[in-house]
Structure 1
Amino acid sequence: MRIAICGSGVIGVTSAWYLAQAGHEVVVIDRQDGPALETSFANAGEISPGYASPWAAPGIPLKALRWLMMDHAPLILRPKPDMAMLRWLVAMLGNCTQSAYAINKSRMVRLAEFSRDCLAALREETGISYDERMQGTLQLFREQKQLDGIGKDIAVLKADGVPFEVLDRAGCIATEPGLARSSAPIAGGLLLPNDETGDCFKFTNALADMARAKGVTFLNNTTITAMVEDAGRIVRVETSKGPVVADAYLVAMGSYSPHLMAPLGLHLPIYPVKGYSLTVPIVEEAHAPVSTLLDESYKVAITRLGNRIRVGGMAEISGFNTDLPAARRATLEMSASSLFPGAGAMKEATFWSGLRPMTPDSTPIIGPTRLPNLFLNTGHGTLGWTMACGSAHVIADIIGGKRPAIEAADLALSRY
């Protein structure tokens, strides 16, 4: 079967790999001149199945109001006359219940755990290298009340059999020795030892090269303008370089997926939530993180990637813009410097922003649509890197008519 994939971020490329492995002819279409040049380019670098949690949770509305007032706010809202923004915010607030949180987190952890296993198998099979480390994630709490409030997360981790360890300050420093030089308050932490780290851009490009060797075609610098439906099926993708015809079509365009689907009468509840990152050269090895630390107070991830530190985070709801305000950079610098002082050359850091494709329930949309040859693999939010291989494995099975290795019915668009 010939399959056209729209999008060559980490989701599109991993989908291409697993589909090619299943024996399909695959063509990947993207407007950029190479893979992983948008949201997959400089994300936080964490592969954190144990930290897979919905943004919508009990108490989040009140927390959000407090965050908006902070000097280094983890949440930034730039209101604008945008009905898509309003609908998304209302839908997200509707998921801020205990029951919805438990359901959403459980299915996110299910997919993320499966994805980590798929990545491990892929790594063993191919020897792919991407500055990977397997030393876990430390969620660090600066305040005791944060540490006291992790009960609901621990309950889900226990239910799903995810290993974890609750640490005091000394335990946090033993896990991340660079914290010993920090004067920041550290009440404790939650260690998820099975989590991993790695450079998503390096991984995606290395896998794209392997996919090409298996016959996958990449149409770069090619803008997708429309999908054409006829007699209840997609018959072609219109692009800036002419039509692309296939037997089946997969949309993996992140935040831009709703624009492509709307003319077909398919409404995807995905909205861009902007994130920022710094990539910092390491100057003092002993002071740098050894894996990933999540600064819970500021929602910032600090990750070791080879001889660099990736500092990523924040959530800005402001539509489709990728500007780089100095205030956002200051927040990232403050979080990293307060916890790992002197570890990196901050003045030499590269500043970046990307648009995370968020659903109201934080769960991606993976599966079929009302059109029998049109499929979706999109809406992964902050966890595209964490969930990429598992999502690709699932959608490749679905497109190929096979039963996925995990329960996937509740990941489809039909849940909305």
Structure 2
Amino acid sequence: MNKRIVIIGGGVVGLATAWELIKRGHQVQLLERNAEPGSATSFANGGQLSYRYVAPLADSGVPLQGMKWMGKADSPLNMRLRMSLQQWRWLLQFLRACNNQTNKMNGDHILRLSLLSRQVMQAWRDEDNLADFHWRRSGKLIIHRREYDFNKAAKGIDPQYQQALNAEACLQLEPALKHISPSLQGGIYSPGDETADCHQFCLACSTSSMPAATLAC
């Protein structure tokens, strides 16, 4: 049954959703506050398609680390505590999930979703008339300067898809790291990871989907 669907936000998520819904025969109206789609966060997105690098936020070390992060402007985790029963209930559930067993389980769930995303992207590239968005499979190297962090990351890799490289191997793979070689401990290399231009992808989706959708900016 075809439906009339309104999507709020013309970034990469909104445009990709609109395009898939149109392909399934639905009527779509896309609302974007800026003058053109893909011009906010999606304009300068990092463009990493790292399907196997998944890490749930709830981890065993997060509660202690989170206390150190609180109040810092550049903190990756910040929260404004309020007298809200819902917020405190959520916080309690989050803390209960900060253990290795739950982290592993949630990581597996996220990985399955991530691999599905990769299948969809490949199908879009192979089956649909998407304009070029500078996609390439260039691999990804995540470097570590602390031995503890590197050893911890190395224990969690999937050897079928990832490699734990020592400092020398990292420099062979990426000579530009030479200037940090004294502090380089190693890196995790994922040769199958991909990159793309997020803004160009938005434009490609817009060009393909907008003739069949209503766009309101």
TM category (shorter chain) comes to 0.7 to 0.9
Q: Does residue 1:128 correspond to 2:126, yes or no?
A: no
* Residues 184 and 201 (structure 1), Cα distance of their counterparts in 2 relative to 1, 3 Å cut: farther
Give distance in 2, aligned partners of 1:73 and 1:66: 12
The verdict on how the C-alpha distance between 1:127 and 1:208 changes in structure 2, with shifts beyond 3 A counting, is: closer
Equivalent-residue separation in structure 2 for 1:30 and 1:106 (angstroms): 34
Output the amino acid matched with 2:132.
S
1:27 is the counterpart of 2:25: no
Name stretches of at least 5 consecutive residues in structure 2 with no aligned partner. none
Deviations 1:290-331 (A, max 9, x none): xxxxxxxxxxxxxxxxxxxxxxxxxxxxxxxxxxxxxxxxxx
Query: What is the aligned counterpart of 1:192 among 166, 190, 213?
Result: 190
Cα pair 1:173 1:179 within 8 Å, conserved: yes
Q: Is the 8 A contact 1:68 1:75 kept in 2?
A: no
DSSP 3-state at the match of 1:191: strand
On the 8 A contact 1:27/1:216 being kept in 2, the answer is yes
What letter corresponds to residue 139 of structure 1 in structure 2?
I
Question: Are the equivalent residues in 1 in contact too, given 2:66–2:77 (CA < 8 A)?
Answer: no
Q: How many residues align?
A: 213
Question: Residue in 1 aligned with 2:6?
Answer: 4
Q: 1:56 to 1:217 in 2, by over 3 A?
A: same
Check whether the contact 2:154–2:164 (CA below 8 A) recurs between aligned residues: no
After superposition, the C-alpha distances for 1:21-75 in whole angstroms (9 at most, x for unaligned) are 12222221233332233443323221111112111111222233445599x9653
Match of 2:213 in 1: 216
Q: How far apart, CA to CA, are the structure 1 residues paired with 2:145 and 2:69? A: 15
Per the TM alignment, residue 88 of structure 1 is displaced from its structure 2 partner at its CA by 4.8
Moved over 6 A (4+): none
Q: 1:177 to 1:11 in 2, by over 3 A?
A: same
How far off is 1:172 after superposition?
A: 1.2
Q: Give 1:189 deviation, angstroms.
A: 0.8
Q: Structure 1 residues 38, 89: closer, same or farther in 2, change over 3 A?
A: farther
2:143 to 111, 117, 140: 140
Higher strand fraction (1 or 2):
1
CA distance, structure 1, for counterparts of residue 43 and residue 88 of structure 2 = 28
1:12-51 equivalence runs, <5 A:
12-51=14-53
2:133 match: secondary structure: coil
SS state at 1:62 partner = helix
- Distance in 1 (CA, whole Å) between partners of 2:90 and 2:44 is 25
Quick one: distance in 2 between partners of 1:191 and 1:73? 27
RMSD between superposed Cα atoms in Å: 2.7
Query: How far apart in 2 are the matches of 1:149 and 1:8?
Result: 39
**Structure 1 residue 93: deviation in Å?**
2.4
Q: Which amino acid aligns with 2:65?
A: K
Counterpart contact for 2:162–2:190, Cα < 8 Å: yes
C-alpha separation in 2, matches of 1:16 and 1:48: 23
Q: CA deviation at 1:150?
A: 2.3
Instruction: After TM superposition, give the deviation of residue 20 of structure 1 in Å.
Output: 1.2
Q: Quick one: structure 1 residues 171 and 73, their matched pair in 2 at CA, closer, same or farther if it must change by over 3 Å?
A: farther
The 8 Å contact of residues 69 and 76 in structure 2, kept in 1 or not, is answered as: yes
The structure carrying a bigger helix percent of its residues is 2
Which blocks of at least 5 consecutive residues in structure 1 are unaligned?
Answer: 221-416
Structure 1 distance, partners of 2:123, 2:10, is 22
Superimposed CA distance per residue, residues 228-273 of structure 1 (whole angstroms, 9 cap, x where no aligned partner): xxxxxxxxxxxxxxxxxxxxxxxxxxxxxxxxxxxxxxxxxxxxxx
Give the aligned partner of residue 63 of structure 1. 65
Q: Which residue of 2 aligns with 1:109?
A: 111
CA offset digits 1:86-107 (Å, max 9, x no partner)? 5554443232112221121111
Q: Deviations over 1:174-205 (max 9, x none)?
A: 22221123356111111111111122222112
Cα separation, 2, equivalents of 1:151 and 1:136: 17
Q: Which residue of the other structure, out of 195, 203, 206, is the alignment partner of 2:204? A: 206
SS at match of 2:122: helix
The DSSP-based 3-state class of the residue aligned with 1:140 is strand
Inter-CA distance 69–9: structure 2 relative to 1 (3 Å threshold): closer
User: Using CA pairs below 8 Å that are at least 6 residues apart, which structure has the higher relative contact order?
Assistant: 2
Show CA shifts across 1:195-224 (max 9, x none). 1112222211221111123x122122xxxx
Q: Which amino acid aligns with 1:48?
A: S
Confirm or deny that 1:167 pairs with 2:165.
yes
Q: 1:61/1:138 Cα in 2 relative to 1: closer, same or farther (>3 Å)?
A: same
CA distance in 2, matches of 1:67, 1:142: 20
- Residues 95, 78 of structure 1: CA spacing in aligned structure 2 closer, same or farther, 3 A cutoff? closer
CA distance in 2, matches of 1:95, 1:39: 30
The letter for the 1-side match of 2:209 is A
1:28–1:51 distance in 2 versus 1, CA, 3 Å: same
Structure 1 residue 129: Cα displacement:
2.1
